[in-house]
């Protein structure tokens, strides 16, 4: 299968993040993408560069002022005399105003970010745009008739919403792929998110829409990031009522529990009868992932790939998380290999 990869990802290297109250080296590193690239190439998939898809396509799922903010955030940070990486330090919690976007960089950051683990550096915009273009290029390849394509997106995307970023995500690559398929003639697209974490951004983007089914299997937000979205009682609203399905599993869940939830997700997808499938492919469900708590083993990733392929749909697989760097390549290649077979 074609695997869309851009070397521009390496321009985003966040350095440090605030993780559970500790300033630690970022888990979301350039090395992740390079290990996946090597594994995917070794498995015989064809690496291709993303196309120069116009930036205006971002506005299919993102707010224009938000996109403008991301593009210019690092320059503004520097022009206001700040040093180092761009990290927010205050957020509009309950009781504070959310209808105003303050003019200064600190207030703007609190307005658009929802955590302090997603630094912006000089090259973040270039990398995020390349990842978005990679996802849309994979969607274009599938629109043109290929059964499936993979986008090696870095930074990941599923936590980024219409006008907020966080969770190592800036632009929502999977949502952009789904919108691209819809704009290309699909009537309905299912988006299945198998990353360990709830795809809160994707859920928000499609919350009131009935042309996208969003299904997410993830660690229970009672204890797992992103904590404030991803509960089973969230089912969409308006025209989107019933088009969101959250399947939270307790931290510590293994393949037995996971397989049941995956089958529930696939059954909901079949009932929706989509024209195409987008998969938010995180492999942070792996047993030795440093920031996650499921217990999947390497042998389970081909089972996930085969199950997804069994839907028989044109499919775009979009890379999300996965922080057990030594095994990330083999786990991703395991999914893709089984899918292609
Ligand atoms: Zn994740």
Strands 46-48 vs 276-281: parallel, antiparallel or unpaired: unpaired
Question: How far, in Å, is the centroid of ligand 1 from the Cα of 196?
Answer: 5
From ligand 1's centre to the CA of 179, what distance in Å?
Answer: 22
Three-state DSSP at 108 gives: helix
Distance from Cα 227 to the centre of ligand 1, integer Å: 13
**pLDDT tens digits for 152-199?**
999 999 999 999 999 999 999 999 999 999 999 999 999 999 999 999
CB 307 within 8 A of CB 262: yes
According to the model, what pLDDT value does residue 77 have?
96
Task: Tell me, in angstroms, the distance from the centre of ligand 1 to residue 273's CA.
Answer: 27
Using DSSP bridges, classify how beta strands 16-19 and 22-25 pair: parallel, antiparallel or unpaired. Answer: antiparallel
3-state helix, strand, coil in the chain (%, to 5): 40, 15, 45
- pLDDT for 341 equals 87
pLDDT in tens, 181-192: 999 999 999 999
What is residue 82's predicted lDDT score, i.e. its pLDDT? 92
Predicted local distance difference test score (pLDDT) of residue 311: 98
| Spacing, Cα 98 to ligand 1 middle (Å) | 27
**Cα gap 227→198, rounded to integer Å:** 9
Distance 7 CA to ligand 1 centre (A): 22
Chain-wide mean pLDDT for the chain?
97
List of the chain residues with pLDDT < 50: none
171 CA → ligand 1 middle, Å = 15
Calculate how far, in angstroms, residue 117's C-alpha sits from the geometric centre of ligand 1. Answer: 13
- What are the two backbone dihedrals, phi and then psi, of residue 137, each rounded to the nearest 5 degrees? -65, -45
With contact defined as beta carbons under 8 Å apart, do 269 and 311 qualify? yes
* Element counts in the chain: helices (H) and strands (E): 9, 10
CB 299 within 8 A of CB 160: no
Q: Which residues are catalytic?
A: 159
Of 34, 320, 323, which Cα lies nearest the Cα of 155? 320
Q: What is the rounded distance in angstroms from the CA atom of residue 282 to the CA atom of residue 290?
A: 14
């Amino acid at each position: 299968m074609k695997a869309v990869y851009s070397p521009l990802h390496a321009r985003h290297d966040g350095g440090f993040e605030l993780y559970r109250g500790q300033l630690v080296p970022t888990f979301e590193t350039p090395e992740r993408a390079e290990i996946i690239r090597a594994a995917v190439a070794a498995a015989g998939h064809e690496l291709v560069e993303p196309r120069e898809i116009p930036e205006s396509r971002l506005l299919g799922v993102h707010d224009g002022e938000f996109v403008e903010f991301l593009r210019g955030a690092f320059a503004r940070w520097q022009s206001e005399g700040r040093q180092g990486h761009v990290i927010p330090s205050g957020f509009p919690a309950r009781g504070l105003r959310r209808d105003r976007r303050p003019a200064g960089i600190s207030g703007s950051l609190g307005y658009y970010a929802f955590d302090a683990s997603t630094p912006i550096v000089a090259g973040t915009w270039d990398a995020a745009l390349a990842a978005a273009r990679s996802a849309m290029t994979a969607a274009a390849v599938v629109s043109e008739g290929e059964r499936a394509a993979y986008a090696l997106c870095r930074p990941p995307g599923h936590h980024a919403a219409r006008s907020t970023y966080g969770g190592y995500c800036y632009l929502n690559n999977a949502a952009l792929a789904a919108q691209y398929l819809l704009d290309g003639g699909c009537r309905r697209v299912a988006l299945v998110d198998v990353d360990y974490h709830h795809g809160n951004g994707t859920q928000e983007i499609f919350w009131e829409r009935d042309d996208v089914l969003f299904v997410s299997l993830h660690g229970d937000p009672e204890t797992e990031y992103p904590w404030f979205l991803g509960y089973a009682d969230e089912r969409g609203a308006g025209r989107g009522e019933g088009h969101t399905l959250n399947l939270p599993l307790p931290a510590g869940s293994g393949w037995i529990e996971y397989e049941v939830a995956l089958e529930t997700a696939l059954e909901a997808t079949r009932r929706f009868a989509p024209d195409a499938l987008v998969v938010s492919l995180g492999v942070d469900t792996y047993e030795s992932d440093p920031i996650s708590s499921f217990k999947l083993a390497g042998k389970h990733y081909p089972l996930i790939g085969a199950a997804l392929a069994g839907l028989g749909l044109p499919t775009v697989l979009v890379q999300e998380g996965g922080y057990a760097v030594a095994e990330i390549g083999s786990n991703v290649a395991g999914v893709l290999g089984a899918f292609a077979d």
